[in-house]
Amino acid sequence: MTIRGLTVQLGRAPVLHGIDADIPAGGLTALVGPNGSGKSTLLGSFTGAAARRTGQVLIGDDDVLRMRPRERARRIGVLPQEADLAPELTAAELVELGLTATRRRRWAQDAGRETRATVDRALHRAGALPLAERMVHTLSGGERQRVLLARALVADPEILVLDEPTNHLDLAHQFDVLDLATSGDHTVIAALHSLDLALQYARHVIVLRDGRVAAAGRPDQVLSERLAREVFRVDGRVVAGRPDARDHFLVSPLR
């Protein structure tokens, strides 16, 4: 994905200011930055949620900003930060909504068994197949994120967009969701609050500050003590992991 000159206004106020960024194919690109830096607005531009936009967001040579909603839904799967989940649906029915959004109505009506098989495959990939017949309102936070990840995966998109996928999850479930999201061949773009998770999981990092790109590159190059102090107002340092473990980025209050 290539982003050139992307500016987004919400009301009269510009939120993103001429963003230029290159997102490599495959692996996880982490989008990090303080609250209000524009992470969710940038992700919303990929999915059609942001309203007043100028610039380009390209998948290959195709401009996402000019795609029809069905085509965009087929190529980009989304796990939103906050989702309104209909309590009367089962997990399988919720996942199927991600599939029908990409299909013409008559085709969807005739799909039958093929649709359910596709839904079950997505639930299996997200480690959520045992939840298929559970009602949505009975799911725990971790179970809910697995089902929403399955909904994002169900149409087999090229790109997964995850807006704070670890929100409201305990530590074990945070690792669980990111392990699942990065286990396939998709290009994954995720807004993360944790610099430690960004260091552990990302192949590429984009740092936003005040609606602009403050830094971009490999995590080991970008996530530095200086960046932690200047952008996040914390002390931070990389701690090398054991030979069989990932490095960690530890933070503490600014002294």
d(CA 129, CA 140): 15
The rounded percent of the chain whose pLDDT value lies above 70 is 93
Distance separating alpha carbons of residues 122 and 220, to the nearest angstrom: 33
DSSP symbol at 135: B
pLDDT of 105 higher than 60: no
For 200, residues 6+ apart whose C-beta sits below 8 A from its C-beta are 246, 247, 248
Q: 148-158, pLDDT tens digit by residue?
A: 999 999 999 99
| Average pLDDT score over the chain | 88
Q: Catalogue the E-assigned strands of 60-169.
A: 62-63, 76-79, 159-163
State pLDDT tens for residues 174-204: 999 999 899 888 999 999 999 999 999 999 9
Which range among 43-47, 105-109, 176-180, 204-208 shows the weakest confidence by mean pLDDT? 105-109
Could you say which architecture CATH assigns to the domain 2-81+158-253? 3-Layer(aba) Sandwich (3.40)
Q: How many CB atoms lie within 10 A of CB 216?
A: 18
- Enter the tokens of residue 138: 């009975």
> How far is the first Cα of the chain from the last one, in angstroms, to the nearest whole number?
39
How many other C-beta atoms lie within 10 A of the C-beta of residue 254? Answer: 11
Confidence (pLDDT) at 111: 56
Q: Is the pLDDT of residue 51 over 70?
A: no
Could you give the residue ranges of the DSSP H alpha helices within the chain? 39-47, 69-75, 91-100, 105-111, 113-125, 141-153, 171-181, 195-201, 219-222, 225-227
Q: Which pTM does this prediction carry?
A: 0.89
